[in-house]
Amino acid sequence: MTQPTVFTSNAVPPIHVIHENPDWLPPFAKAFAARGEGFVDWNLSDGAFDLSTPPPAGLFYNRMSASAHSRGHRYSPEYASAVIAWLTAHDRPVINGPGAIALEVNKAAQLARLERAGEPVPRTVAALGAEKVAEAAESFAPGPVIVKPNRGGKGLGIQLFENAHEAAARSRAGTLPGSTDGITLLQDYIRTTDGSVTRAEFIGGRLFYAVRIDTGGTFELCPADVCAPEEAAATGGPVFTVVENVVEPELEQAIGVFLRDAGIDIAGVEFARDADGRPYVYDVNTNTNYNPDAERAAGVSAPQALVDYLIRERNRHFASPRIAFNGWGLVPGRIAAAE
């Protein structure tokens, strides 16, 4: 059980980080330490909270991942939604709050909102049930179709069928990959000229940088070091490169408007260009990870920019230095040391 933490009279309350994968925290811990700050670690791979108690004070940053199920944490996103509802019911500021968790686990919701914001997205049908999936796939014939789970993450379970009839047959035979929430998306395949896609990293609603991902033909594009680097090295890809001037101002602005309307503060937004150079947005990652090699080569640090943004937001919300935060209750985590 965590000891209650007491903040003295001139302290500001802490920043709490909600997640389910400790492997992704070191770059952020380092960035906090660089500013002489710690953070409260809320690992929601399991947990319990008392609804009759107010949450602790502070700023909360949610980086729950749609791919939690691939690490044995099938229900952590649902649990995160419950925790975030409790936080917001008590007016706790949450960076990447309810809007972000709702879209993180629901690609159909992402695409619906992108579409409404006027973004070009690939034509997509969301389907439930093997026969409906098959019929939806047939609507793409004779062309190709991408089949992907509605709750995405790391490219798992994504398949390209050059002939959509084959996807339909596989659905009827019950041999398509499973979908965590039962919903399958059938999507137009954006055929790029060079196999690259772009991820535009937004922090605090603003474009921080864009990274080109040379996919090497794989759909599994996790940028973090911890995502099987040996495997990636063995297959020769993907390769991440920070690039400038690849997000046209209209696209940058439209993504910004989409993120604001959706209540998302931090996200990696992925798009692919067809042979005519037209961009199609197909994925929004609210728990985005950053590629350290690409950052080193470009001399930038998104984890630092993100942490600086969190500190600014925390200070903005808790401007008065004289509030006492004694005994602010249950902390379902631990205070990470500012090393």
Ligand X SMILES: Nc1ncnc2c1ncn2[C@@H]1O[C@H](COP(=O)(O)OP(=O)(O)O)[C@@H](O)[C@H]1O
Chain residues in the site for Mg ion (CB under 5 A):
270, 283
User: Could you tell me if 95 and 266 are in contact, meaning their C-beta atoms sit under 8 angstroms apart?
Assistant: yes
Count of residues engaged in binding ligand X, rule: CB under 6 A: 20
Residue 201 CB, shortest distance to Mg ion, in Å, is: 13
Query: Residues 71-75: contacts with CB within 8 Å, 24+ apart?
Result: 71/20, 71/21, 71/45, 72/45, 73/20, 73/44, 73/45, 74/180
Q: Does 287 sit near ligand X (CB under 6 A)?
A: no
The span from the CA of 339 to the CA of 28, in Å, is: 12
Is the preceding peptide bond at 26 cis, omega within 30 degrees of 0?
no
Q: Does 219 sit near ligand X (CB under 6 A)?
A: yes
Residue 308 CB, shortest distance to ligand X, in Å, is: 27
Spatial CA neighbour of 239 closest among 277, 294, 278 = 294
CB nearer to ligand X: pick between 221 and 255: 221
Classify burial at 162, counting beta carbons within 10 Å of its beta carbon; exposed 0-12, middle 13-18, buried 19 or more. Answer: exposed
Q: Does 158 sit near ligand X (CB under 6 A)?
A: yes
User: Could you tell me if 9 and 324 are in contact, meaning their C-beta atoms sit under 8 angstroms apart?
Assistant: yes
Residue 9 CB, shortest distance to ligand X, in Å, is: 45
Residue 61 CB, shortest distance to ligand X, in Å, is: 20
336 contact, one of ligand X, Mg ion, none, CB 5-8 Å limit per kind: none
Q: Does 201 sit near ligand X (CB under 6 A)?
A: no
Q: Output DSSP code: residue 15.
A: E
Residue type, 328: W
- Chain residue at closest Cβ approach to ligand X: 152
Q: Does 153 sit near ligand X (CB under 6 A)?
A: yes
CB nearer to ligand X: pick between 5 and 196: 196
The span from the CA of 9 to the CA of 321, in Å, is: 7
Residue 91 CB, shortest distance to ligand X, in Å, is: 31
Name the site residues for ligand X (rule: CB under 6 A).
122, 146, 148, 152-155, 158, 187-190, 197, 215, 219, 221, 270, 272, 282-283
